[in-house]
């Protein structure tokens, strides 16, 4: 018989991240904010997770202090509501160093990132949705290194602390589709999301605790604009590109 445990379902993963004991292991290198690799354990289940405590956030002039961890969790909510599953499971909770985001650690090829995945091929199905996703959440920092090549064979998008600003902040390396028509299937998925937001469906109520009313209104406007134009946004200036790109 195999010793391997069956893969956890989404509800079990979220329960593990929400209620599990967080045991810090090491700080992650090259992070601008406190980013701690932890073991998380709950009811016989165990995994690695990335914990970003609120008090370890570097202040930014244009984002309200102490809100980056909330935006990380909000990005996961949007990924789930769109059913695109681009963002690893993420929750907002208390931890060893106070309130912070806790995200399932994705085992990945550490030499790979968005640019190498584009060259390699096989990830084309993710990119049209990722470009729309970043426009929806107003991602101010989509670097190539913020995309992981998971050992599960799929692309995962991480690092969403600077998102959901009420002003246009879109900065990304993924302008490949700029000005192109958004595929019909993605337009339908956006329209479904718009309806869910307008109906204030229960699964979206978490956004009210993570974002300000002004930011939620701006989110709705971005979705409406994408649906009205039916095209991918275009870069407005050199500030539309993050630095460094990787």
Which pLDDT value is given to residue 4?
Answer: 47
Round to whole Å and give the CA distance between 20 and 149. 26
213-229 and 184-198 helices cross at what angle (nearest 10)? 150
Q: Is the peptide bond before 123 cis (omega within 30 degrees of 0)?
A: no
pLDDT number for residue 127:
98
Give dist(CA 238, CA 236) in Å, integer: 7
Ranges under pLDDT 50 in the chain: 1-4
pTM, 2 dp: 0.95
pLDDT on residue 5: 52
Would you state the pLDDT for residue 6? 58
**Architecture in CATH for domain 10-240:** Orthogonal Bundle (1.10)
User: Where on the phi/psi map is residue 150: left (φ > 0), alpha (ψ -120 to 50), or beta?
Assistant: beta
């Amino acid at each position: 018989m195999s010793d391997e445990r069956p893969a956890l379902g989404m509800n079990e993963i979220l329960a593990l991240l929400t209620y599990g004991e967080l045991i810090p292991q090491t700080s992650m290198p090259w992070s601008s904010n406190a980013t701690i690799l932890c073991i998380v354990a709950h009811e016989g289940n165990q995994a690695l997770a990335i914990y970003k405590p609120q008090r370890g956030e570097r202040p930014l002039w244009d984002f309200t202090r102490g809100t980056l961890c909330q935006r990380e969790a909000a990005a996961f909510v949007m990924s789930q509501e769109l059913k695109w599953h681009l963002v690893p499971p993420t929750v907002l909770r208390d931890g060893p160093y106070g309130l912070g985001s806790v995200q399932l650690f994705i085992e990945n090829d550490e030499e790979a990132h968005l640019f190498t995945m584009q060259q390699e091929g096989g990830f084309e199905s993710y990119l049209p949705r990722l470009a729309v996703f970043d426009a929806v959440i107003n991602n101010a920092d989509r670097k190539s290194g913020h995309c992981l090549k998971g050992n599960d064979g799929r692309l995962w998008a991480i690092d969403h602390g600077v998102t959901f600003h009420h002003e246009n902040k879109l900065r990304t390396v993924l302008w490949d589709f700029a000005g192109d028509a958004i595929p019909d299937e993605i337009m339908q998925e956006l329209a479904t999301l718009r309806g869910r937001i307008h109906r204030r469906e229960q699964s979206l109520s978490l956004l009210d605790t993570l974002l300000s009313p002004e930011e939620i209104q701006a989110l709705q406007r971005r979705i409406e604009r994408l649906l009205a134009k039916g095209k991918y946004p275009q870069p407005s200036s050199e500030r539309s590109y993050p630095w460094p790109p990787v």
